[in-house]
Amino acid sequence: MFTPLPQVPFVMPQLGESIAEAVVVRFLAKPGDNVLAGQDVLEVETSKATMNVAAPASGKVVEWFAREQESYAVGAKLGVLEVSAAEAARLGIGDSFEPAEHESMRGSVGSMRGDDTNKAVSPTVRGLPVPANATGASYMSPRLKARMAELGIHAADLAGVAGSGAGGRVTIQDFEQFLANLEQHRLTGASSMRVAVADAMRRSWTRPIATVGMPVVLEPLLDHRKVQSPKPGPALYALRALAIALSENSAPAGRLVGNRIVHPKSIDIGFAVEVEDGVLVPVLRGVDQRSLGELTARYTELVELARQRRLPTDATGGSIATVTNFGTFGLTFATPIPLPEQTLVLGLGAGRKAPHWDEAKKQFVPVMEANLTLSFDHRVLDGGGAGRLLARVAELMQKPSGL
């Protein structure tokens, strides 16, 4: 009598802290293929990166339950692998996996209008919504909030909806009419990256954010950069200067939790990298303990990995501040917003020729100059403290050989 071989499920793994789901991008092995334990069998995408999922054992791919471009929760069964009895014994598996068990778990995140045939998964990033504008959704009933949660819509998305209820309240009828009107426009799906960035900025804006700025002369930095190999980018000079300044006084990078300031244990600083439909923030660890030369190769490597959306887990999350070079877009001044878990974001604008007073020559001379900005959580830091920190960063950037 024929005895069927044991079967092992392909399961969506935990791909990082706070990651509850991932989108299946493509399959790297098809039904009927023989694979080895640890071999990459499918590519998935989270809000932070694109990465591969490996086979849990050696065997033959029987079937994929998952579908490309659909999202599945961590722990969802994506397919089934047929293995030998010896392989099953090695894994400690006694009973074979029943494919039917997966059917109730199959599904992706529903569409905005709702789709009962798909099992919704928990969102990758959760956060408090920003209160809507008083001229729009100034009050929302529990029923309306439940309907919004069902469709993944935030209160801030309804800021322009005028309520017809008492006191300007937005009724469920107003909301459904709003949805019906949306259907008359061209609609495109927002990527998981775009949704994650939007959620992070929404949560960041629940705090009082302020920005200070000042010009910084780039001549010393540019002269120093000419003789370096490999050459650090201007943002890396600013990042290293910020790290030194925070190592001297970490209080400005602390987070206010209740009635206490939580100081950072390590000077880990992220830097913004534009990718398709969003921004990723790779993190350099212990920046105050590493020289500019030591950081350059790793910085360049992480920029490339971010653009490929393949950042390693040790280079994501846990940073205390971010540096962003908005000058790459030709901008001379901007007010970036710190990430929700951070207090600070340092920005560097585009360089341009400007008159600068030369005390030795007693006259103005043309120099390359750029604006340096510091956006901060005003609950933790006041304007004076922010100004002193920014001035210290600018001072350190004038002595690049010390970085």
CA-only gyration radius of the chain, Å: 26
- 170 and 301 housed in the same domain: no
- 151 and 265 housed in the same domain: no
- 390 and 295 housed in the same domain: yes
Residue 57 is predicted with a pLDDT of 86
In contact, 217 and 224? CB cutoff 8 Å:
no
Name residues whose C-beta falls within 8 Å of residue 167's C-beta, 6 or more positions apart in sequence.
Answer: 138, 139
CA torsion through residues 224, 225, 229, 232, sign: positive
Domain count along the chain: 3
Closest CA to 369 of 315, 332, 316, 330: 332
Residue 183 belongs to domain spanning? 142-194
Residue 97 is predicted with a pLDDT of 46
- 257 and 380 housed in the same domain: yes
- 225 and 337 housed in the same domain: yes
Residue 256 is predicted with a pLDDT of 82
Q: With respect to residue 136, please indicate whether it lies within any of the assigned structural domains.
A: no
Q: With respect to residue 270, please indicate whether it lies within any of the assigned structural domains.
A: yes
Q: Which parts of the chain sit beneath pLDDT 50?
A: 95-137
- 213 and 332 housed in the same domain: yes
Q: Residue 367 corresponds to which amino acid?
A: V
Burial degree of 2 (CB within 10 A; 0-12, 13-18, 19+): exposed
Residue 398: phi and psi, rounded to 5, are: -80, -10
Name residues whose C-beta falls within 8 Å of residue 9's C-beta, 6 or more positions apart in sequence.
Answer: 77, 78, 79, 80, 81, 97, 102
Closest CA to 398 of 236, 221, 214: 221
Residue 134 is predicted with a pLDDT of 32
Residue 304 is predicted with a pLDDT of 92
The CATH number that applies at residue 167 is: 4.10.320
- 267 and 368 housed in the same domain: yes
